[in-house]
Amino acid sequence: MASHPHSSSTPRSQKISIRTEEWNRRLHEVQVTKHDLNRLIMDYLVIEGYKSAAEEFCQEANLTPPVDFDSIESRMDIRDALQRGDVEDAIARVNDLNPEILDTNPQLYFHLQQQKLIEFIRHGQIAEALQFAQDELAPRGEESPEFLSELERTMALLAFDSTPTAPSGIAELLSPAQRMKTAGEVNAAILESLSQGKEVKLVQLLKLMHWGERMLEERADFPRVVSSL
């Protein structure tokens, strides 16, 4: 058998080192205008629902309102209704704001109906829960395997007398986090209907910085800006 010449593997290239002074100099060379900063602040106030602060800041910074400020209050009223378990009030308010939101989003509408079913079960209204599931949710479950799976998971709550005895994947439906999840989904749909971002841009920028640092650390040693998210 013919012998093959010995081939040594190429050594992994060493990381370059960026000194703190050089890193800081490059950071200071990045120009961010005051207008851009003001828009980031306004984006945060609008998405997080601070209506009064958004109105005042808009005037002080001489910005064009990105949305109708009344819609901010409407979103917060809808969120509050869902967090206290009043799904009917939330649905009515969404329809008053824009009926197309639920008409064009069957998944969102199903999740709202699912939340209503959860509230029936939470308050021990078993007969109402069974009737509601049969009339409103079962037909939708037949249309979608995902909906059917969620319906079955919700109905499994009826098999347990108290929340602590239920598996975590089922018991969590009765937790405050489930209401917040539904409220967050509705909030995102409303923002999308207003051509507004679903997530605060400052959060998106931090995630982008964190991703960039992880890419850069494969090639260089440098002072970290974002340690973790």
Cβ-proximal residues to 106 (8 Å cutoff; 6+ apart), any chain: 140
CA–CA distance, 166 with 214 (Å, rounded to integer): 40
Closest CA to 58 of 73, 206, 50, 190: 50
| pLDDT at residue 68, as a whole number | 85
Average pLDDT over residues 115-131: 96
Instruction: Flag whether pLDDT at 228 surpasses 50.
Output: no
Which SS3 state, helix, strand or coil, does residue 16 take?
Answer: strand
CA–CA distance, 26 with 21 (Å, rounded to integer): 9
DSSP E strands in 72-158: the ranges are none
| pLDDT at residue 161, as a whole number | 57
Quick one: what percent of the chain has pLDDT higher than 70?
88
Q: Count the neighbouring beta carbons within 10 Å of the beta carbon of residue 35.
A: 11
Instruction: Flag whether pLDDT at 6 surpasses 60.
Output: no
CA–CA distance, 148 with 157 (Å, rounded to integer): 15
Angle at 163 between CA 162 and CA 165, to 5 degrees: 75
pLDDT band at 11 (very low <50, low <70, confident <90, very high): very low
pTM score of the predicted model: 0.73
Cβ-proximal residues to 224 (8 Å cutoff; 6+ apart), any chain: 213
CA–CA distance, 205 with 147 (Å, rounded to integer): 34
> Is residue 39 a contact partner of residue 205, using CB atoms and an 8 Å limit?
no
Place of tokens 């308010």: 93
CA–CA distance, 86 with 98 (Å, rounded to integer): 19
pLDDT digits (tens, 9 = 90+) for 171-224: 899 999 999 999 999 999 999 888 777 677 777 777 777 777 777 777 777 666
| pLDDT at residue 224, as a whole number | 66
- % helix, strand, coil for the chain, step of 5: 70, 0, 30
Closest CA to 216 of 26, 29, 51: 26
